[in-house]
């Protein structure tokens, strides 16, 4: 399945992202369950969490070289936002 690319991302609280795809669909994605994993534990730092950006090609959101989420993960498991 081919997923749309990510157009924009913003944080809407301490652990939730609002992601807009290039087909105009918006998803809310709660990263709270991921914070248990070592790779994502750094996102408990609110300043780091709020530094999220869209990866240059639109295939992920990234925080740093080591922490990212793919467009497929967000598309598949995010909740459609109004």
Instruction: Output phi, psi for 18, to 5 deg.
Output: -115, 115
Q: CB–CB of 76/10 below 8 Å?
A: no
Taking the C-alpha atoms of residue 12 and residue 18, their distance in angstroms, rounded to an integer, is 6
Closest alpha carbon to 24 in 69, 66, 77, 80:
80
**Residue labelled with tokens 């598949």:** 76
pTM of the model: 0.92
- Domain map (residue ranges) of the chain: 6-80
According to CATH, the topology of domain 6-80 is: NE0471 N-terminal domain-like (3.30.2020)
Q: What is the mean pLDDT of each run of 10 residues along the chain (82 residues)?
A: 91 95 96 96 96 96 96 96 84
Please give the pLDDT value at position 2. 78
Taking the C-alpha atoms of residue 48 and residue 19, their distance in angstroms, rounded to an integer, is 17
């Amino acid at each position: 399945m081919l997923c749309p690319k990510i157009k924009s991302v913003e944080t809407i609280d301490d652990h939730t992202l609002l992601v807009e795809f290039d087909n105009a669909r918006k998803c809310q994605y709660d990263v709270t369950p991921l914070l248990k994993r070592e790779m994502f534990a750094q996102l408990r730092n609110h300043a780091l969490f709020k530094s999220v950006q869209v990866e240059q090609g639109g295939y992920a959101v990234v925080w740093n070289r080591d922490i990212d989420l793919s467009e497929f993960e967000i598309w598949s498991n995010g909740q459609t936002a109004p």
